[in-house]
């Protein structure tokens, strides 16, 4: 039995004419009180702009999922194992939510309120960052140890120079400060 790891788009089930039927253009208001009448067809459909957002997010999520799978060597989603597709989809969802939460932190003016309290959106950003990392690790993100452990900048430069010298072909000079072309006495 093949499991379809690609969920149906969230907005695909919504009718084009709104969840409660055809939306009219007349205002359906009482002429005296201005209140909406029973059976009003001009009511605002809650989530209409939300549907546009989710349709745009669906395209981004699909593109990110394909990129993650391509990075693992699968040109087509159908060729990838279902668990890898699910992990790639989870990574895409978490990344989109993380980015959205980050944008919200910026719009709100920073991670804390004027009373130095933590914003709830910061917790959302932290949680989705963690989830995105976990999904990315599941699909193959690898951590590597750094070459620079506890070196001063001068020690690091010396280490790099030694590596370059070891990799240079025999008999080829390496320009170093104070050497040829650097104003040294040559």
Residue 4 has a pLDDT of 45
Domain residue limits at 117: 10-139
Residue 65 has a pLDDT of 94
Determine, yes or no, domain membership for 92: yes
Determine, yes or no, domain membership for 53: yes
Determine, yes or no, domain membership for 179: no
Q: How many domains does the chain have?
A: 1
Task: Tell me the sheet residues that pair with 29.
Answer: 36
Determine, yes or no, domain membership for 133: yes
Whether the per-residue pLDDT at 61 is higher than 90: the answer is yes
Determine, yes or no, domain membership for 183: no
pLDDT (average), residues 147-151: 62
CA of residue 23 relative to chain centroid, distance: 35
Share of the chain above pLDDT 70, in %: 67
pTM over 0.85: no
Cα(first)–Cα(last) distance of the chain, in Å?
76
């Amino acid at each position: 039995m093949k499991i379809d790891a690609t969920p149906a788009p969230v907005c695909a089930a919504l009718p084009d004419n709104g969840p409660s039927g055809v939306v009219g253009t007349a205002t359906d208001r009482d002429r005296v009180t201005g209140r909406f009448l029973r059976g009003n067809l001009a009511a605002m459909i809650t989530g209409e702009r939300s549907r546009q957002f989710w349709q745009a997010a669906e395209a981004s999520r699909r593109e990110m999922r394909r990129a993650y799978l391509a990075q693992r060597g699968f040109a087509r989603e159908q060729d990838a194992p279902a668990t890898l597709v699910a992990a790639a989809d989870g990574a895409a969802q978490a990344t989109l939510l993380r980015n959205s939460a980050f944008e919200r932190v910026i719009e709100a003016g920073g991670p804390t309120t004027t009373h130095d309290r933590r914003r709830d959106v910061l917790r959302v950003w932290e949680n989705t960052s963690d989830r995105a990392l976990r999904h990315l690790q599941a699909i193959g993100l690898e951590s590597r140890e750094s070459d620079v452990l506890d070196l001063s900048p001068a020690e690091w430069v010396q280490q790099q120079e030694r590596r370059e010298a070891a990799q240079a072909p025999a008999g080829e000079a390496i320009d170093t400060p104070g050497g040829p072309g650097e104003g040294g006495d040559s």
